[in-house]
Amino acid sequence: MSQFRPLDPLGIQRVVKQKGVLPQQADVLDPSLPIAEDELLIEVESLNIDSASFHQISEASGGDPARIEKQVLELVARRGKHHNPVTGSGGMLIGRVVQVGPAFPVAQKPVRVGDRIATLVSLTLTPLQLRKIRKVHPKIDRVDVEGHAILFASGIFARLPEDMPETVALAVLDVAGAPAQTRKLVQPGNTVVVIGGGGKSGLLCLYEAKKKPGVRTIAVDYSREAIERLNGLSFADQIIQADARNGVEVMEKIWNATKGAMADVVINVANIPETEMSCILAARPNGLVYFFSMATSFTRAALGAEGVGADVDLRIGNGYTEGHADLALQILRESPELRRIFTESYS
């Protein structure tokens, strides 16, 4: 008998419940060994839990690290993956490659045993088995663990760079899709509003948007800490303090800031629900709203736009676009301001 399971690039044989669906849609995955011929086995060091998911787990645990730990362990034991059923989101992990299946596509995705990598596919579809939790870091949504994970042949990952602390690299890689999509969506001369602009992805999006000639960036955030983080940054032209759950407040403030022209592009990177309307109302007619936030409700966005007669282009925030990891890491190398903020916040 082969020491490997058969080829399975999408991880379908890992699905326990409900049979026939893909791993991301599944309730339960089987993270057990051996790996398939085309899988990677990773000894996991840390989970970088998606902000919306960590926020929810933390709130449900009253912010108590011991209860957060218990919830994460129970969740992973129950589902065979870190897939938060409330937010529907997961996060990503870092670890060391301990086995490369003989049919893993190393020509397209070079990797060797011993490499330290960050997975760039969501934890919501990554088979995961935890032996224990070593430490919870509530400020950076990170949980240090012992356990193993499996990456399918279709999965993507980045080798951890050596020129920055890994916690910093991980924080950036987690949201790498946002600045890469910003690069695609923003045109020269646009007014770009970033809702939740003081957060991780918000700062990267503001920076990337500002690289295009003639772009004006407006950051919207709520807490004093976020506003302080934004103050004085060269790539945030204007900073607005507003509650993104209050569509009218945001609309009025953007109206005043743009003299009624509103935004060409609105990027939603807030980590809380019910921020769809502030984005829709901040966009000009025929403008574009990019919902990167995992707390976005398709129903609220679509029906909300219809309800206020807003003819805007609503885009779902695909977390992947080609070259996104390299672009996001490059931003940190280019911008001393962002490097300082990310190093202070995440190392």
Report which of 322, 245, 302, 310 is spatially closest to residue 281, judged by C-alpha positions.
310
Give the integer Cα–Cα distance in Å for 87 and 69.
18
Positions in 75-94 near ligand NAP (CB under 6 A): 89
User: Edge-to-edge strands of the sheet including 216-221?
Assistant: 238-241, 216-221, 191-195, 263-268, 283-291, 313-316
Sheet containing 128-137, strands listed edge to edge, beginning at the edge strand earlier in sequence: 128-137, 142-151, 40-49, 91-100, 116-119, 157-159
- DSSP assigned state of 133: E
CB distance 159 to 184 below 8 Å:
no
Q: Which is nearer to ligand NAP, 31 or 196 (CB)?
A: 196
Residues 121/39, Cβ–Cβ less than 8 Å: no
Cβ at position 149, least distance to ligand NAP in Å? 18
Q: Report the nearest approach of ligand NAP to the CB of residue 347 (Å).
A: 15
Is 161 near ligand NAP (CB under 6 A)?
Answer: no
What is the smallest separation between the CB atom of 306 and ligand NAP, expressed in angstroms? Answer: 23
From 32-40, 64-72, 94-102, 174-182, span contacting ligand NAP (CB under 6 A): 174-182
Each residue 306-325 as x (binds ligand NAP by CB under 6 A) or -, in order, gives -----------x-x------
The one-letter code for the residue type at 245 is R
Considering only 207, 292, 342, 346, the residue that binds ligand NAP (CB under 6 A) is 292
Per-residue binder mask for ligand NAP (CB under 6 A), 48-77, x = binder: --xxx-------------------------
Chain residues 241-280 in contact with ligand NAP, contact rule CB under 6 A:
243-245, 269-272
Residue 329 makes contact with ligand NAP by CB under 6 A: no
CA torsion through residues 78, 149, 121, 107, sign: negative
Measured on CA atoms in the order 191, 196, 199, 201, is the torsion positive or negative?
negative
Give the side-chain half-sphere CA count within 13 A for 177. 20
Cα angle 236-239-241, degrees, rounded to a multiple of 5: 150
175 binds ligand NAP (CB under 6 A): yes
Q: How far is the CB of 19 from ligand NAP (least distance, A)?
A: 27
Q: Is 225 in the site for ligand NAP (CB under 6 A)?
A: yes
Tell me which residue has tokens 């108590």: 64
Residues numbered 132 to 151 that lie near ligand NAP (CB under 6 A) are: none
* CB 112 to ligand NAP: min, Å: 27
Asked if residue 217 binds ligand NAP (CB under 6 A), the reply is: no
Asked if 97 is part of the footprint of ligand NAP (rule: CB under 6 A), the reply reads no
Please report, as residue ranges, which positions from 197 to 216 form the binding site for ligand NAP (by CB under 6 A). 198-202
Q: What residues does 193 pair with on adjacent strands?
A: 218, 266
The answer to whether the beta carbons of residues 268 and 292 sit under 8 Å apart is yes
Q: How far apart are the first and last CA of the chain?
A: 46
DSSP element (H, E) containing 72: helix 65-79
Tell me, residue by residue from 176 to 195, as one string, x for binding to ligand NAP by CB under 6 A and - for no binding.
-x------------------
Asked if 289 touches ligand NAP (CB under 6 A), the answer is no
Nearer to ligand NAP, 216 or 245 (CB): 245
Residues in the chain: 347
Min. distance of Cβ 91 from ligand NAP in angstroms?
Answer: 8
**Binding site residues, ligand NAP, CB under 6 A:** 50-52, 89, 174-175, 177, 196, 198-202, 220-223, 225-226, 243-245, 269-272, 292-295, 317, 319
